[in-house]
Chains A and B, each alone.
Chain A
């Protein structure tokens, strides 16, 4: 694995000599639609960066401009310290794996993979060696003479990967490459993509709106929303320290418990939650919260414990279980507080906890380290 330097989005471009790709204030409009607000981003040599975000958040737009397939309305793209904002796609040393594969239907698998090498005028023997090696890597040497339409979806996907990787582009862009595959194939392919990334070491930008995929594959995740970057960081940073309600909700789903700050208590903040129960929680990553201001405690469903009334220490909330769904390995509860707030609680499915029935009154609690504070946002 390559070492991955951690940078924030806005760090000055000249400080980081190793930045493979630098995007500065890049923007794009389609008529009155803002597809991408001015966005800046640095990607390090060999990094695997995932663009994650809901539909229409500008992921494809950003990717296509980096590939040179769309013209930005403003801003700059620097590749290897060279201004490539308006360079033609074939001048960028960028490989793209398209969502629908875009294999050439009139060429065999072999010819498809050989195409970029022929464009680069490699010698015939060289081409043969490289193509066959690449087909070996993706495990498809036996289909070299078939046409794309004679392959299964997963095989086509692997050919697309091979075609992109065979000429060793220094940046690989993938736009939801696994979007069309079933769950099982996705898992295998995720693994293969990671393996190829390790072997080839290309800087990779990967688009997905599957948060599980993003968490498991990425060195860093760039969370996008509304045509801009919402948060950029390591998967665990995004998971444990979301900077916004959106980030907290998009990664893993979560509970927001409204509360009011009372004051500080060591490195924690004391606060008053629903039903005037008093808690303490970690302060937010950025922005100080003064006494009296409103905030939300963010607690993941799996961090909430259900206990019997009377059994629990202070800092627990009384609630009534209103619904219980066994989803398989986990069981989801909905619990309503007396003031109407509904919290989602997740536990591992287990014979013993089936005793918690809808209608039952319980106490809800969590380890204080698992609660993060977010300043209350103005309603959007």
Chain B
């Protein structure tokens, strides 16, 4: 039963009190700015209603082309990302326990490594003097270096690399809830491995795949770092176009109109996607939720889904059978989860995720002035350059201070909200979580643009406070999600037990609740910090020339020259993030073992 606050006739729900600060904060600094930014697309300078900006969007061939490009690139990148992410997610959710946590850490490292660092890494790998070209030349495969960089190919590689961690994590979280006993049940019912996977596991994992696809697609729409650094002019995407309109033309109306068009088209795509595939309705899952009106269609969809599953299942079994016949191997235990091919694919993809950034480390010690492979000589001059430059120093310190403050604020707003969502009943509770998640679901570029527009009005542009608020908007959702996961596993009866044993509410919280949620609390704090520390989009708009953050300084530097200094900064960042992740893991483990050895 739900616990009521044992206070005399407390009619104002405690839940509302706890969640209101987060809701109001996001309403002021997220919802209102986005809505008002969207409205300027239909208002001219004099304040009258106009469609002129939309007319120019549709009249301009350039803008039209960029929009088409954006959707093509985003769709291809999403497809590739999801296909590659699936085996890794499958392995992480269902693979052997021992490797799982290590693998998870490895997937997390690129997730928390700055997108900029990862783009630089691909520039080093694919450049004319890069890893691939010099390797192939050394091997004698090619005579002259290939033009790999600034192409559709390099954009795609960079984007898949950038998007994959989020796709993997989304799918894993859905797959972890799949009951592994179902596999055993299916195999006792006579299904072989291929059928077990395609008829049982895959359909069950489909909701995870669908939400992974959505999140990846939305993220890829607003991406601009990869196409800007790794693509050519033909790979220009909407994000770059919007930045250009603001930065160079100062044309707010047009930028807003482009942003709205992009939002509309992505909403249409999402709705179509839902209609055709039916999120969470593949193979009849969630059919109970289907309304009577759509009954026939969803049955059709379900039976189509089932037919496809069945076909793939038999095909896999035939192939596996043929393979066993050829290699004279024993049939594998159908319950044993991912097989050898999944394992190989997983390790290949994880290598693709982690390896590129590692090339930056040796490249940062080069004695020459260029980013090249193999690095020439050895010197520490680029680290000296970084450490002795006041611009870099200040940017770093500012990033750390802003990150720390952001983390404090996000925890302050996010943790009570998570408590409200797990422990209290209040009206409209069902809408609260989607609302809080909006800032990380909406394309980043639109969030940043709206904040810029709003902050310009109230004089927050170029201030640290503006940045902190902007970053908090993006970090609060992460805090809430992390704390929700922690609190949902927390047995509320423990608090009730403490109260009946004589603990007052505060001591019960201090002695029972806090020690048990400590790890989740620290983790969410660190997530919020790293989220702010790495953030580029908002910083790009809101921090002005003098008060830049580290990512913004890296971005400006990259426009001048992608050289060894950037490799040195990247190396420091990689080590920094790796240390943080290791620290979190250590805290987790310590948390577990301290539970064991107390007293």
Interface of A with B (CB < 8 Å)? 60-61, 64, 67-71, 86-90, 92, 94-96, 98, 100, 102-108, 110-111, 115-116, 119-120, 145, 147, 163-164, 167
Interface of B with A (CB < 8 Å)? 1, 3-10, 491, 493-494, 496-505, 507, 511-512, 515-516, 595-596, 598-599
Q: Which B residue's beta carbon lies closest to that of A169? A: B500
Check A68 against B6 for contact (C-beta < 8 Å). Answer: yes
Partner of A70, one of B3, B512, B598: B3
Q: Which B residue's beta carbon lies closest to that of A99? A: B493
Check B595 against A105 for contact (C-beta < 8 Å). Answer: yes
Residues from chain B with a CB closer than 8 A to the CB of A90 are 499-504
Instruction: Provide 10 A-B residue pairs closer than 8 Å at the C-beta atoms, listed in order of the A residue.
Output: A61-B1, A70-B1, A88-B499, A95-B500, A102-B493, A102-B497, A104-B494, A110-B599, A119-B501, A145-B599
CA distance A88 to B507 in the complex (A): 14
CA distance A96 to B511 in the complex (A): 19
Residues from chain A with a CB closer than 8 A to the CB of B504 are 88, 90
Q: Do A96 and B500 contact each other (CB < 8 Å), given the known contacts A68-B6, A69-B6, A107-B598?
A: yes
Q: Do A104 and B599 contact each other (CB < 8 Å), given the known contacts A68-B499, A119-B507?
A: no
Residues from chain A with a CB closer than 8 A to the CB of B502 are 90, 116, 119-120, 167
Number of A-B contacts (CB under 8 A): 97
CB distance from B506 to the nearest CB of A (A): 11
Q: Do A100 and B491 contact each other (CB < 8 Å), given the known contacts A106-B516, A111-B598?
A: yes
CB distance from A284 to the nearest CB of B (A): 37
Check B6 against A167 for contact (C-beta < 8 Å). Answer: no
CB distance from B157 to the nearest CB of A (A): 46
Can you name 17 extra interface pairs (CB under 8 A) apart from A96-B500, A106-B598, A111-B599?
A: A60-B1, A68-B6, A69-B496, A70-B1, A87-B6, A88-B504, A89-B499, A90-B501, A90-B502, A90-B503, A100-B493, A102-B493, A104-B494, A107-B599, A116-B502, A119-B501, A120-B502
Check B599 against A119 for contact (C-beta < 8 Å). Answer: no
CB distance from A124 to the nearest CB of B (A): 13
CA distance A167 to B596 in the complex (A): 26
Q: Which B residue's beta carbon lies closest to that of A71? A: B4
CB distance from B268 to the nearest CB of A (A): 39
Residues from chain A with a CB closer than 8 A to the CB of B501 are 90, 95, 115-116, 119, 163-164, 167
CA distance A208 to B421 in the complex (A): 32
Check A89 against B496 for contact (C-beta < 8 Å). Answer: yes
Check A70 against B4 for contact (C-beta < 8 Å). Answer: yes
CA distance A94 to B502 in the complex (A): 9
Check B493 against A98 for contact (C-beta < 8 Å). Answer: yes
Check A106 against B515 for contact (C-beta < 8 Å). Answer: yes
Residues from chain A with a CB closer than 8 A to the CB of B598 are 106-108, 111
Q: Do A89 and B599 contact each other (CB < 8 Å), given the known contacts A64-B1, A69-B3?
A: no
Top 3 A-B pairs, shortest CB-CB distance: A119-B502, A116-B501, A102-B497
Check A86 against B8 for contact (C-beta < 8 Å). Answer: yes
Partner of A119, one of B6, B493, B503: B503
CA distance A145 to B4 in the complex (A): 34
CA distance A102 to B499 in the complex (A): 12
Partner of A104, one of B4, B10, B512: B512
Q: Do A98 and B516 contact each other (CB < 8 Å), given the known contacts A64-B1, A86-B6, A167-B501?
A: no
Check A106 against B595 for contact (C-beta < 8 Å). Answer: yes
Residues from chain B with a CB closer than 8 A to the CB of A145 are 599
CB distance from A226 to the nearest CB of B (A): 18
CA distance A86 to B6 in the complex (A): 7
Q: Which A residue's beta carbon lies closest to that of B515? A: A106
Check B6 against A89 for contact (C-beta < 8 Å). Answer: yes
CA distance A69 to B4 in the complex (A): 7
CA distance A164 to B497 in the complex (A): 9
Check B503 against A102 for contact (C-beta < 8 Å). Answer: no
CA distance A87 to B595 in the complex (A): 33
CB distance from B597 to the nearest CB of A (A): 9
Residues from chain B with a CB closer than 8 A to the CB of A94 are 500
CB distance from A140 to the nearest CB of B (A): 16
CA distance A147 to B503 in the complex (A): 21
Check A67 against B500 for contact (C-beta < 8 Å). Answer: yes
Residues from chain A with a CB closer than 8 A to the CB of B511 are 115
CA distance A111 to B501 in the complex (A): 13
Residues from chain A with a CB closer than 8 A to the CB of B500 are 67-69, 89-90, 92, 94-96
Task: Name the residue in A69, A95, A110, A120 with the highest tally of chain B Cβ atoms < 10 Å from its Cβ.
Answer: A69
Partner of B498, one of A61, A115, A164: A115
Q: Which B residue's beta carbon lies closest to that of A166? A: B501
CA distance A71 to B1 in the complex (A): 12
Q: Which A residue's beta carbon lies closest to that of B599? A: A108
CB distance from B393 to the nearest CB of A (A): 42
